[in-house]
């Protein structure tokens, strides 16, 4: 949970200045039996968070929830999507969508609903902390034990300050979570710093297929003789046709880089397309 991070990362008057005022918790859609307990659980976690002030007033924006049951094989679970309209948010609103499964094929229990509500608020907290752009806040979001929340921090670093936080991204190249490996590789690629070629080459040896594409792309962005030789070998010897093609594309980008202006426009376009 990130509910204690504001005090450490943005304490005192600074902490109060980033707190979000919200009104009521409103469930827009949900199975009847889940509507009241989910609303109560989300409201409880918001009230305990230093990042939110729950007024219950119609003058403040509501926390809007959409709740539905989900299934993954024999396991049943719950998905909660939350939205808070707020001009302080980069996109004009804070959003979180989480899913919690009841393991072992058992029915959903109160503890499952509370866990889902806690994760919703934790994601909202992480987004608010990251929006401050403060180094301490970003660093603390990275300490979360929730891979989804760590992923939010890595996304922010990639899109805003990859060079400043690149060293913090390196350990995630060895993560058990492919999405974190991919994001770490994207960050290092955007630094265009040859100092990270060695760790990317190591990651390319062990990364699963999905994030390995991002590792190849990062090597192509950084360039240099070692990266070029490795991509040549990967393009020729990769067992997967898709990975071989990814290596060829990265190699082509290395040998025929776009201009700085075009590269910047490409990055902006990619960020706008990311949700």
Taking a C-beta distance cutoff of 8 angstroms, is the pair 131, 91 a contact? no
Q: Measured in whole angstroms, how far is the alpha carbon of residue 259 from the centre of its chain?
A: 29
Provide the pLDDT for residue 82: 98
| Count of beta carbons in the 10 Å neighbourhood of residue 143 | 11
Provide the pLDDT for residue 105: 72
- Residues of the chain short of pLDDT 70, as ranges, are 1-17, 259-275
230/202 Cα distance (integer angstroms): 11
Provide the pLDDT for residue 3: 47
What does the buried/exposed string (b/e) look like for 41-56 if buried means 16 or more CB atoms within 10 Å of the residue's CB?
A: bbbbbbeebbbbebee
Which residues lie below 8 Å from residue 192, measured CB to CB, with a gap of 6+? 221, 222, 223
Provide the pLDDT for residue 25: 97
pTM for the whole thing?
A: 0.85
Provide the pLDDT for residue 104: 74
9/129 Cα distance (integer angstroms): 8
Dihedral sign for Cα atoms in the order 226, 227, 232, 238: positive
Provide the pLDDT for residue 253: 93
Provide the pLDDT for residue 259: 60
* DSSP characters over 89-115: STTSEEEEEEEEEEGGGPPP-HHHHHH
Give per-residue pLDDT as tens, 67-88: 999 988 888 899 999 999 998 8
First and final C-alpha spacing in the chain: 23
Taking a C-beta distance cutoff of 8 angstroms, is the pair 146, 19 a contact? no
Helices and strands (H, E) in the chain, number of each type: 13, 6
């Amino acid at each position: 949970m990130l509910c204690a991070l504001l005090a450490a990362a943005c304490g005192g008057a600074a902490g109060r200045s980033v707190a979000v005022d919200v009104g009521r918790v409103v469930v827009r859609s949900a199975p009847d039996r889940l509507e009241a307990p989910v609303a109560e659980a989300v409201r409880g976690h918001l009230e305990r968070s230093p990042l939110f002030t729950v007024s219950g007033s119609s003058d403040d924006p509501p926390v809007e929830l959409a709740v539905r049951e989900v299934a993954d094989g024999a396991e049943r679970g719950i998905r909660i999507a939350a939205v808070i309209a707020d001009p302080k948010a980069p996109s004009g609103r804070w959003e979180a969508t989480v899913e919690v499964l009841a393991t072992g094929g058992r029915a959903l229990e109160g503890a499952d609903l509370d866990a889902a509500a806690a994760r919703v608020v934790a994601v909202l907290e992480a987004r608010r902390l990251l929006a401050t752009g403060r180094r301490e806040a970003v660093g603390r979001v990275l300490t979360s034990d929730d891979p989804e929340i760590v992923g939010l921090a890595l996304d922010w670093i990639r899109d805003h300050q990859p060079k400043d936080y690149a060293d913090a991204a390196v350990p995630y190249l060895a993560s058990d979570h492919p999405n974190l490996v991919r994001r770490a590789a994207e960050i290092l690629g955007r630094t265009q710093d040859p100092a990270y070629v060695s760790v990317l080459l190591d990651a390319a040896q062990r990364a699963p297929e999905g994030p390995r594409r991002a590792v190849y792309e990062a090597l192509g962005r950084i360039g240099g003789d070692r990266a070029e030789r490795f991509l040549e070998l990967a393009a020729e010897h990769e067992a997967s046709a898709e990975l071989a093609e990814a290596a060829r594309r990265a190699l082509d980008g290395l040998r025929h880089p776009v201009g700085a202006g075009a590269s910047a426009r490409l990055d902006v376009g990619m960020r706008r397309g990311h949700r």
